[in-house]
Chains A and B, each alone.
Chain A
Amino acid sequence: MTATPPSGPAPRAAQAPHAHPYIPNSAPEVKRAMLEAIGAAGVEDFYADIPEELRLRRPLDLPAPLRSEAQLVRHVGGLLARNTSTREVLSFLGAGCYPHHVPAVVDEVVNRSEFLTAYAGEPYEDHGRFQAMWEYQSLMAELLAAEVVNVPVYDGFQAAGTALRMAGRCTGRARVLAVSDTGPDKLSKVVDYLRPEHQLVTVPVRADGRADLDAVRAELAAGDVAAVWAEAPGYAGLVDEGLPELGELAHAAGALYVVGCNPASLGVLAPPSSYGADIACGDIQPLGIHMSYGGGNAGFVATQDDERLVAEFPTRLFGLVPTAVEGEYGFGDVAFERTSFAVREEGKEWVGTAAALHGIAAGVYLSLMGPHGMRELGETVLARTAYAKQRLADVPGVAIPHADAVHFADFPVRFTGSRTAGEVNAALRERGIFGGAVRTDRDPREALYCVTETHTADDIDLLADTLKEIAQ
């Protein structure tokens, strides 16, 4: 219930009685004095270079402002009241955005004004963010068993696109093989991102959900492949036993091996570098970043400290350096001349504002978790995923494709009864449960369900029991 109907017009506001709180010099007397101080008749003087035909000689047609904070809170609160958050229901949605617990300390740190509102200062007045970001790179490097991790890119999609273009530049070859089950949106982004330089060839997975090694071998035969791109786990959560062999195939054909991975799994699953990946990439949203309706992403790209690979990173890489004072840590940009900041279009792809604060969040998260926390996280998610698969497999009208495989967080569910996955979801919603993400790209009877450490055995039992009522 709100005074401001969310969909209706905002209330008429009275004429501005005083300076806007966000604009101190809008106080009429201040404005007058400033104009006088510089000998200007009015602000119109400053717009003299804008031709009349380009001037908008009417006010913008916008809703009346909500100048008081109280009004604004009420208005936005009214809109937010029309959302149902996953805290109010039991949600089994994952598929690229994961409901992990976000420790309170992570929120405390990233909401600090000094971090939240900083931008691009030097490594002196902004020493803190340089150190926090370098520590993020270093913590991720331990998790990934890599020596170089970048300042975050926008998201895991971008990370995959950049990792593959890096591989393309390194090898000078045209084709890239996508060999795992990759989500349709990620594939769409990567295809479009590579298009100017590379052809992305999708090698369909086998009926058992694993990469088709024979087909990959055949595609590699021509010797024109820049990279074999696998995902661990794939879009449907499957951990493919063939991952190490894919690396061998890639290397034998002179291609680089690029592996996308879920960093939350790496306390129990091997880091890609250990089974041959030249470049690892992925999204750090699972590491302490809120889902925010899909707004909480940041991507990483990681390699060993190989000069040829480092030279191909488009992003900033912070480095540790001595200062003029003994025992002081300084920071700066490694090999800055790679970047478009330094040399515009002669740089690698581009660099710009991306997702730095999420990197700091992930750094705080990994510091809190430590080696044991990451292992326990991985074990719990693996165990809960396996348990959910077992419980759901027992439900009449439900089948678990690729049930023999190991799944992490996501797993596929197929509804064999009278209802599609979407219809099952509608019935679940009435009972306070958000079912899995429907695979509209593939089969309306299939959905990806997801469990993490935030789901208890009781939650999973409740899902199974509820599906018994509706899935047939």
Chain B
Amino acid sequence: MSAPKPATEPTREEARIAPKPPLRRFHQARWDEQLIFELGTPGERGISVPAPEPEVREAVGDPAAALPAALRRSTPPALPELGQQQVLRHYLRLSQENLGADLNIDVGQGTCTMKYSPKVNDTFTRDPRVAALHPLQDASTVQGVLEILHRLEGLLKEISGMDRVSLQPAAGSSAIWTNVAMIRAYFAARGEAEERDEVITTSFSHPSNAACAKTAGYRVITLPPDADGYPDIEALRAAAGPRTAALLITNPEDTGIYNPRIAEFVRIVHEAGGLCAYDQANANGILGITRAREAGFDLCHFNLHKTFSTPHACGGPAAGACGVTEALAPYLPSPTVEFDGTDYRLEADRAESIGSVRPFYGVIPNLVRAYAWIMSLGAEGLRETAEIAVLNNNYLLAKVSAIHGVSVPYAQGRPRLEQVRYSWERLHDDTGVHSEEIGLRAADFGTHYWTSHHPYLVPEPMTLEPTESYSRADLDEYAAILTEVAREAYEDTGTVRTAPHRSTVHRTKEDTLESPATWAVTWRAYRRKILGESV
């Protein structure tokens, strides 16, 4: 049925749609969704489970009856009861209330290397010939996946210059731990484990370098930045000595500044008899440009979920890769993947190995993705990745530096590589607005940012890392959002300080999270502690 004919024909002007405003009028999904425990009705079922066949029941009866009562569950777990579509709907609503990297211009999560994770690579991981492989299958039935692991090791050896690479670590910090465990084993084999009980790292290296070293039993020495933001070389000279087991260092550090004296750092530690491990979490701007090998490192690690494109998955599963020189190779986790020219096999008989750092061989789906990603780029593409990541960063640096209230601490006039740690100190001094609040207001425009690891050496920090994935238009839009929020901070401070306004939820009352009387890590604890129910 068509509408009644109007008395006069509409004009072209009436049909014209105005151009979009410069900034998008975003509003995040707000389903006002309940907790899963508040949904469903007893008796509803989300999925049916196969029951034992009658002959099985007849043959075995109730096997649990053989157990003492204390080992049999007496009351069923108080899980919700929902139909299948109701479960799906709940979680799809939650997914819509989440801002994935596929949906926003995710340059604001500096140090995390948020890049496009190609969809085609996900199709490989869902293939049953990856997803439904059991890790203890005979090697003859998994030659394809073993070949991928072997080839990926070869690619990463060339990219890092190291002699062997383990793909077993579960993530970046797991790889740092693996490197520290190898360092410990190396000195133990030389009878120097007791004497060498210190690890040196830097303030702008990831906190896990310090924390893993401490967990491994080392005393941690942290080099502060000098006036230009470089780790203080005099502090290193003072720290290095017979107690030094290793230097764990990132370069470029989380400031995006490349330390040109890195080879000297390595030399100082080597002269003191220590080892050097390169945290390559920030490798995205230097692929094919410079390598761990040339700088003299003994060990390095990559975060495959950062530089090598595997998705970040809300915080993992990720994947780490540890590269080592020949001298450290005996200590690599077991098993390794070996190739005899015909067949691929797993080698676990390695006397000096630190053993398993996780079950089986690594986070296989992400290793497959990383392999495919490198193969889609090749040497030229990896170099282009680095160069465009660095170009994007310096382009955004020019735009963001022009925003009133922003400053770029350290190494004035020097270029940055793949990221920049900015400071809103001036804006804060002028307006009282904190960096976190600017980040929350940015969420009202469909993006976000992350400040910095703790402690905040840069006051009111903001860390931006525009990887190669973002177009010039993306970068312009991101800079325009920051420009607008900074303007608001000066002219409409209240709006920024009470943000977000167009997000799923409003400002939380966080103080309850610090008190044992009020924190509620689970529904069970919330019901007992806050609602006063007996559970």
Contacts and interface: CB of A to CB of B under 8 A. Distances in A.
Contacts of A185: 355-356, 359-360
B290 A127 contact: no
A76 B124 CA distance: 8
Contacts of B78: 142, 371
A16 B368 CA distance: 24
Contacts of B52: 379-380, 383-384, 387, 457
A355 B316 contact: yes
A174 interface: no
B77 A86 contact: no
A148 interface: yes
> Top 8 A-B pairs ranked by shortest CB distance?
A294-B360, A65-B378, A294-B135, A196-B217, A352-B173, A295-B364, A128-B98, A368-B46
B165 interface: no
Contact of A26 (B28, B359, B384): B384
B361 A294 contact: yes
Interface in B126-174: 126-138, 140-145, 147-148, 155, 158-159, 170-174
Contact of B60 (A274, A332, A371, A387): A387
Nearest to A51: B260
A336 B67 CA distance: 41
Interface stretch (A204-212, A218-226, A238-246, A412-420): A238-246
B356 A118 contact: no
Interface stretch (B6-14, B87-95, B267-275, B424-432): B87-95
A433 B279 CA distance: 44
Interface stretch (B15-23, B232-240, B469-477, B480-488): B469-477
A357 B50 contact: no
14 contacts: A45-B415, A54-B295, A60-B158, A65-B379, A81-B144, A96-B360, A141-B523, A243-B70, A266-B77, A295-B367, A370-B46, A380-B51, A386-B63, A454-B50
B interface, how many residues as a size bin? 35 or more
Contact of B388 (A23, A125, A360, A367): A23
A46 B136 contact: no
Contacts of A293: 130, 133-135, 142, 145, 360-361, 364
Contacts of A197: 217
Interface in A325-381: 325, 327-337, 340-345, 347, 349-358, 360, 363-364, 366-380
Contacts of B528: 147, 305
B374 to A, nearest CB: 7
Contacts of A472: none
B507 A323 contact: yes
Nearest to A99: B134
Interface stretch (B322-330, B489-497, B513-521): B513-521
Which of A20, A143, A345 is the most central at the interface, judged by chain B CB atoms within 10 Å of its CB? A345
Given A20-B377, A147-B522, A356 B294 contact: no
Contacts of A43: 387, 390-391
A185 B514 CA distance: 37
Nearest to B393: A46
A349 B215 contact: yes
A93 B136 CA distance: 7
Interface residues of A, number: 217
A55 interface: yes
B73 A270 contact: yes
B351 interface: no
Given A50-B286, A456-B50, 9 more contacts: A24-B470, A31-B391, A65-B378, A105-B91, A114-B102, A121-B109, A266-B73, A321-B513, A370-B82
A38 B394 contact: yes
A108 B158 CA distance: 37
A259 B332 CA distance: 29
B131 A23 contact: no
Interface string B498-535: 00100111111110111010011111111011000000
A262 to B, nearest CB: 13
Contacts of A165: 215
Nearest to A457: B53
Contact of A380 (B49, B80, B287, B500): B49
A271 interface: yes
Nearest to A183: B359
B38 to A, nearest CB: 10
A173 interface: no
B227 interface: no
Contacts of A139: 36, 79-80
B71 A73 contact: no
Interface in A189-212: 189, 191-192, 195-197
A59 B172 contact: no
B506 A437 contact: no
A48 B49 CA distance: 63
A357 B364 contact: no
A370 B43 CA distance: 10
B147 A119 contact: no
Interface string A298-312: 100000010100100
Contacts of B529: 305
B433 interface: no
Contacts of B53: 456-457
- Of residues A88, A119, A334, A390, which shows the largest number of chain B Cβ atoms within 10 Å of its Cβ? A119
Contacts of B88: 105, 108-109
A350 B218 CA distance: 14
Contacts of A188: 355-356
A249 B317 CA distance: 37
Nearest to B528: A147
B337 to A, nearest CB: 12
A341 to B, nearest CB: 6
Nearest to B213: A345
A271 to B, nearest CB: 7
A188 B68 CA distance: 32
Nearest to A78: B144
A239 B63 CA distance: 11
A115 B317 CA distance: 12
Nearest to B60: A386
A116 to B, nearest CB: 5
A40 B392 CA distance: 12
B314 A356 contact: yes
